[in-house]
Amino acid sequence: MPVTLVDRLPLPNLKVYTAGSVSLLSIAIYYALSATSDPNWRVNVTQGRQEGMAEPGDLEAQLVMTSPPVVAGNGTRNISDQFVDVMTFMMQEPLCVWTLINLAYCSLAVFGFGVQRLVFGQLRVAEAQRVKDKFWNYVFYKFIFVFGVINVQYMDEVLLWCSWFTLVGFLHLLGQLCKDRYEYLSSSPNTEGWVHVRLACLLGGILTAATALLGAAAAWGLPAGRDTFAFMAAECILVLVAVLHVVARYVLQLYECDVAGPVAYYTHLVFDSVSLVVELIHVLHMVVYSNMLVSMASLVLLMQLRHLLHELQARVRRHRLYTSLATHMSRNYPMASKEEVDKNQDNCAICWEPMKEARKLPCSHLFHNSCLCQWVQQDASCPTCRRGLAGAAPARPAPHAAPLPNHLFHFDGSRYVSWLPSFSVEVTRVRGELAPGPALDNTAQQLQHMFPQYSIATLTADLSRTASADLTLDNILEGRLVAAEPIPEPEPLPVQQQPTLLDVATSTIEPWTPPSSAYLLPTTSTAGTDTIERSNRGTGHSTVAPENLVEDDVSLGGFAPSAASRAAALARRKERLVAGARLRYLRRLPRAP
């Protein structure tokens, strides 16, 4: 399948690519140096050219006439002259030109990598996937544009468009990353301020660069015709709108705007519709310009057009629903009076936050206006008592749409572009398979929480072998996975000791005492307890004794202020729950049928 082919394409990593580009450049420079060291290189080059091109003879003579100064000045050539020579030579030699272009791309890639490292750090899996999808999507549409719409004839033109799209695409991808990261940050409870500062700086940088590109489009595009300018400008405007939307969301957040309030709503509405309309016009323009209604390219464009129209329509429909709901609510349900709000001690049952202002339903339940508005869009009933709201919600919107698939364009390439076998249009990823990376590490950590007796390294190794959390889990549970390394954390009842413990359990005939009276095992009476103690000493750990389990449970009150200590407390509580349940189960065993 071409889809997976793109994913598995052995793209070289950045280091290899950079090293290759630099060595190519040095070879090219060396070649240029050795070629220009000959004082008559200009003559040689032109002669070499003409052997291939059968130029008229008088031109040759003319060219030879122009070279004498170089020949004469050979002995005293200084470095700057030599540099100029090398550069001139490289610009003339096609192979060297390609090397330089490659170097430019390489520098851009290194720059992008640097920015990513500086601002985003390690990309999350979802972000990386989105960027990848967007990249291939972009490449595909620009390919269509250059060869299908503009129909370029000359290599220079292709090169110019390519470099333009490289720059714009670079900004597009950075903008996408900013948006994803912003969404992620706004959903994380605690982020340091400087993360936001760096993101804001990058947003500013993208805005400046996009504006500059818009200026460049005006400077170079306008002389080439209005169409060219429109094509170039549309791309810049799309980048600008996307980035400004993120900026606007930042501003809204900064002013602590009500997320469901009218200000936020209309801001999003404006940005969404501007971006949709610009893109729609852009695609429409391309269709009209390409002037070939039956070509494959226009088919692709029309598909995209249809998709955009559909989106715009959906947006308008959502907006109409919103306005009708807002008027309906304010007409039918009065805001609660000040006394009613004061008398009501409870928080809003939807968001669990205190209410300063509230809307009152006929059943006299109070909610935030915005909370209620959002709920009524889904279901016309009181959230608390489920009493129907007569005549509410004009039309129920479609139940929440399934999350959009990862690929960004809704175009089934294999069905329409059979003439483009090397392009996979739909970039999907194989689900359920764990590729090495953060996802796998995360799973390993989760497994390690559940089975502390295994080290992270063991789990990671097994996970990368099985590529599935379920298979590894099976391996662990069926005992196929051997805990190779010493147990890293105190483990009350390591699995390896089960036989003895089962013996303990069967020999202990005391009935199970509830946890409140502690796990007090008589330390001297039964041989079984000795086994536990001995085995603990054997593994060299000051194991959490059963008594401590309970005592600590009592002392575990409180909700730690920092994320790390909360996570640690949660992990401890989980460990205790499992350990306690295991112990209780083993104690219960003799009585079980």
Partner 1 sequence: MAGSALRRLMAEYKQLTLNPPEGIIAGPINEENFFEWEALITGPEGTCFEGGIFPAKLVFPPDYPLSPPKMQFICEMFHPNIYADGRVCISILHAPGDDPMGYESSAERWSPVQSVEKILLSVVSMLAEPNDESGANVDAAKMWREDRDQFNKIAERLVRKTLGLPPP
Tokens 């202020």 identify what position? 561
Count, residues in the chain = 593
Q: Which of 188, 364, 506, 507 binds partner 1 (CB under 8 A)?
A: 188
DSSP character string of 133-181: HHHHHHHHHHHIIIIIII---SHHHHHHHHHHHHHHHHHHHHHHHHHHH
Neighbours of 157 (CB within 10 A): 14
**Is 516 an interacting residue with respect to partner 1 (CB under 8 A)?**
no
- Of residues 87 and 351, the one with the C-beta less far from partner 1: 351
Q: Which is nearer to partner 1, 8 or 400 (CB)?
A: 400
Token pair for residue 449?
A: 């929480």
Which positions ≥6 away from 495 have C-beta within 8 Å? 453, 479, 483
Residue 313 CB burial class (10 angstroms; 0-12, 13-18, ≥19): exposed
- Cα dihedral 329, 332, 338, 342 sign: negative
Sole window of 52-60, 161-169, 181-189, 203-211 interacting with partner 1 (rule: CB under 8 A) = 181-189
What stretches of 13-148 show up as alpha helix (H) in DSSP?
A: 14-37, 41-53, 57-66, 68-72, 79-92, 94-115, 125-143
Under a CB-based contact definition with an 8 Å cutoff, are residues 530 and 510 in contact?
Answer: no
Shortest distance, CB of residue 250 to Zn ion, whole angstroms? 23
Q: Which of 18, 151, 253, 497 binds partner 1 (CB under 8 A)?
A: 253
How many Cα atoms sit within 13 Å of 523 on the Cβ side?
5
Task: Measure the CA–CA gap between 567 and 565, rounded to whole angstroms.
Answer: 5
The residue among 25 and 335 lying less far from Zn ion, judged by its C-beta, is: 335
First-to-last CA distance in the chain?
Answer: 55
By CB under 8 A, tell whether 429 contacts partner 1.
no
Q: How many other CB atoms are there within 10 angstroms of residue 232's CB atom? A: 23
Structure-block tokens of residue 483: 């805990």
Longest dimension (CA), the chain: 116
**Contact set for partner 1, span 344-373 (CB under 8 A):** 349-353, 371
3-state secondary structure 452-484: CCCCHHHHHHHHHHHCCHHHHHHHHHCCCCCCC
Nearer to partner 1, 160 or 260 (CB): 260
Binding mask 262-281 for partner 1 (x = CB under 8 A): --------------------
The amino acid occupying position 481 is L
| Smallest separation, CB 285 to partner 1 (Å) | 34
CB 253, min distance to Zn ion, A = 18
Q: Is 115 helix (H, G, I), strand (E, B) or coil?
A: helix
Least separation in angstroms between residue 453's CB and partner 1 is: 8
Residue labelled with tokens 């294999």: 414
Candidate ranges 111-119, 136-144, 217-225, 551-559; the one touching partner 1 (CB under 8 A): 551-559
**Options 375, 409, 411, 519; binder of partner 1; rule CB under 8 A:** 375
In one letter, which amino acid is 108?
Answer: L
22 binds partner 1, rule: CB under 8 A: no
- Using CB distances below 5 to 8 A depending on partner kind, what does residue 190 bind out of Zn ion, partner 1, none? partner 1
Site membership for partner 1, residue 437 (CB under 8 A)? no
Shortest distance in whole angstroms from residue 203 CB to Zn ion: 31
Residue 366 has phi, psi (to 5 degrees) of: -105, 140
Using the rule CB under 8 A, which residue among 44, 208, 324, 446 binds partner 1? 446
Count of residues binding partner 1 (CB under 8 A)? 52
**Residue 207 is a binding residue for partner 1 (CB under 8 A):** no
Q: Does 570 engage in binding with partner 1 (CB under 8 A)?
A: yes
What letter does residue 364 receive in the DSSP assignment? -
Question: Taking the complex as a whole, how short is the minimal distance between the CB of residue 443 and partner 1, in angstroms?
Answer: 10
- In angstroms, give the least distance from the CB of 498 to partner 1: 6
Residue 306 interacts, among Zn ion, partner 1, none and using kind-specific CB cut-offs from 5 to 8 Å, with: none
509 binds partner 1 (CB under 8 A): no
Angle value at C-alpha 299, between 297 and 303, nearest 5 degrees: 120
Residue 381 near which of partner 1, Zn ion, none (CB within 5-8 Å, type-dependent): partner 1
363 binds, among partner 1, Zn ion, none (CB under 5 to 8 A by kind): Zn ion
450 binds partner 1 (CB under 8 A): yes
Q: Among 2-10, 160-168, 304-312, 558-566, which window interacts with partner 1 (CB under 8 A)?
A: 558-566
Check binding of 166 to partner 1 (CB under 8 A).
no
The only residue of 68, 334, 479, 538 in contact with partner 1, by rule CB under 8 A = 479
Strands 366-367 and 359-360: antiparallel
Q: Which two tokens stand for residue 273?
A: 């519709």
The residues that touch Zn ion, with contacts defined as CB under 5 A, are 348, 350-351, 363, 365, 368, 371, 382, 384-385
Binding status of residue 588 toward partner 1 by CB under 8 A: yes
Which is nearer to partner 1, 54 or 402 (by Cβ)? 402
> How many Å separate Cα 15 from the centre of its chain?
22
86 binds, among Zn ion, partner 1, none (CB under 5 to 8 A by kind): none
Which of 307, 315, 541, 566 contacts partner 1 by CB under 8 A? 566
Can you tell me whether residue 244 is helix, strand or coil?
A: helix
Q: Which stretch binds partner 1 (CB under 8 A): 6-14, 270-278, 326-334, 383-391?
A: 383-391
| Cβ proximity of 121 and 438 under 8 Å | no
Residues binding partner 1 (CB under 8 A): 183, 186-190, 253, 259-260, 349-353, 371, 374-375, 378-379, 381, 383-384, 386, 396, 399-400, 442, 446, 450-451, 477, 479, 495, 498, 557-559, 563, 566-567, 569-570, 573-574, 577-578, 581-582, 584-586, 588
